[in-house]
Amino acid sequence: MSKNNTSIHLKVKVGLFGIGLQAYWEQFSGLKDRLTGYINIIANGLEAFDADIINLGLIDTPETAFESGNKFKAEDVDILFLYVSTYALSSTVLPVVKKAKVPVIVLNLSPEASIDYKTFNKLEDRTKMTGEWLAYCSACSVPEIANVFNRCKIPFFQITGMLHNDPHVWKEIEEWVEAARVAKIMYYNRLGIMGNYYGGMMDIYTDLTLQAATFGGHMEVLEIDELSHLCTTVTNRETELKLQEIHNLFDVQADCAEDELNRAAVTAVALDKLVAKYNLGSLAYYHKGTGNEANENTATSVILGNSILTGKHIPVAGEYEIKNAQAMKIMDSFGAGGSFTEYYAMDFNDDVVLMGHDGPCHPQIAEGKIKVKPLKVYHGKVGNGLSVEMSVSHGPVTLLSVVETGDGALKLLVAEGESVQGDILEIGNTNSRYKFSLGARNFVEAWNNEGPAHHCAIGKGNIASKIHKLGKVLSIKTVQVC
């Protein structure tokens, strides 16, 4: 299988530095060591997030700032955490950040919830008192740093709180690290695009160069002819093994014909070979297959194989929906899944929106075992074959759409909701019921007002805060409707 399958485990390189004022060290005994200890606490916490930490310690002069900027650039860090440990000059910050040229998170963290005023005021030595105050002085130079960043057009983001016993701080830090990791996955991702657009579906057309400029990555243009040829290379043993995988993963219904299962298994093996050959991390596809028997056989038997790939961190979007393949890859890289979906209908009695799609699903986020059913017709498409019926696990969900705007840019559109129990349409496609805090009517209008394509990616959990951070890392506008 493709090396890209391990991309979900790509380690992010995190740059960490603290700042101080060199003049303080001789004046206040032990202050430098104390502040260095605080930086090490942050470094140890960051290591828990499966990141490579480049910790350059306290930077206290412009000279060391220039050296540190060079070091971070040489290490190719993905994100910087600046710990403001005490008052420090902005000249010890700017050279670092300008050279590194990556998103910077300013950590304005007090060692404790407050200074122990009684103990502090009982100190008889005013020099010791000042040194103790300076150990709590993290908030002092943040306005200075913010002023300089704004004047230099350097985006920055803040986390304000306590070094110890503050879950909010560590949740925010973890989400920034995760957002940087997902941005890195997208940068190195190889997206296969196979076939052609569904004719007339104008909302899904996209600018491939804009996609690469925004997310990075590489797009490999593929021919379905190659996949059809790979089907002819599949051995009986490979087919048998894939059939075992299909039966283990899915609940194959009794009315699925053996020849259809074999056809799906052969194509699934061929898909594995195609993914491995081009090192794909995601795929968007559509092809009528008319006029060519081999291609029609391939195009009508891909659903099971593409579902299996999607569950192995290689999300596959039907109808050549490249934007949604990107959204699905983002959701999957956050560990939320990311299944292909669209509006199906509205239920005003229960105030829910029914959403689903034909084609592949994401097995890792299914409620129960996915059913495989035969369809005599693929609605709006050529041919017939096996399809999957799945509901997304009941509980919190997030919807994500990569939207191409009318001004030559991309934006991220996100909503949080809940997958709920209830009747679905048992038609052999993915199908779920979703509740939103706005209510079904207002959600649909708010979502549509942002002008998305009619497809989106659905994933488990409420992860809008992570997507907002990814948008900031990538400099993409992010809109949340609920």
pLDDT tens profile 86-143: 999 999 999 999 999 999 999 999 998 888 888 888 888 888 888 888 888 888 999 9
- Which residue has better confidence, 132 or 349? 349
The mean predicted confidence, pLDDT, of the chain is 92
Q: How far apart are CA 169 and CA 163, in angstroms?
A: 8
The whole-model pTM stands at 0.94
Percent of the chain, pLDDT > 90?
77
Give the whole-angstrom CA distance, residue 233 versus residue 39: 57
Does pLDDT of 296 surpass 60? yes
pLDDT of 186 > 70? The answer is yes
pLDDT at 6: 46
Q: What's the pLDDT at 1? A: 39
Does position 249 have pLDDT exceeding 90, yes or no?
yes
Closest to 401 (Cα-Cα) out of 357, 438, 456: 456
C-alpha span between 101 and 460 (Å, rounded): 33
Return all residues near 337 (Cβ < 8 A) that are at least 6 apart: 331, 362, 364, 365, 392, 458, 459, 460
User: Phi/psi at 403 (nearest 5 deg)?
Assistant: -110, 130
**pLDDT score, position 3:** 46
- Please, is 119 exposed, middle or buried when counting C-beta atoms within 10 Å of its C-beta (0-12, 13-18, 19+)? exposed
pLDDT digits (tens, 9 = 90+) for 12-50: 999 999 999 999 999 999 999 999 999 999 999 999 999
Distance from C-alpha of 181 to C-alpha of 143, rounded to nearest angstrom? 29
Instruction: Indicate the pLDDT class of residue 8, thresholds 50, 70 and 90.
Output: low
What does the pLDDT read at residue 93?
96
Smallest Cα–Cα separation from 189: which of 383, 327, 64, 379? 327
Helices 167-188 and 31-47 sit at what angle, rounded to 10 degrees? 60
pLDDT in tens, 419-467: 999 988 877 678 889 999 999 999 999 999 999 999 999 999 999 999 9
Question: Average pLDDT of 47-70?
Answer: 95
Q: Which of 127-141, 273-287, 465-479 has the lowest mean pLDDT?
A: 127-141
Q: How many CB atoms lie within 10 A of CB 457?
A: 29
pLDDT digits (tens, 9 = 90+) for 367-398: 989 999 887 756 666 666 788 888 999 999 99
Joined tokens for residue 448: 């549509």
Mean pLDDT (whole number) for 277-288? 94
* CB-CB contact of 87 with 58 (8 Å): no
| Distant-in-sequence, close-in-space partners of 212: CB < 8 Å, separation ≥ 6 | 218, 219
pLDDT in tens, 351-361: 999 988 877 88
Tokens at 224, concatenated:
């379905």
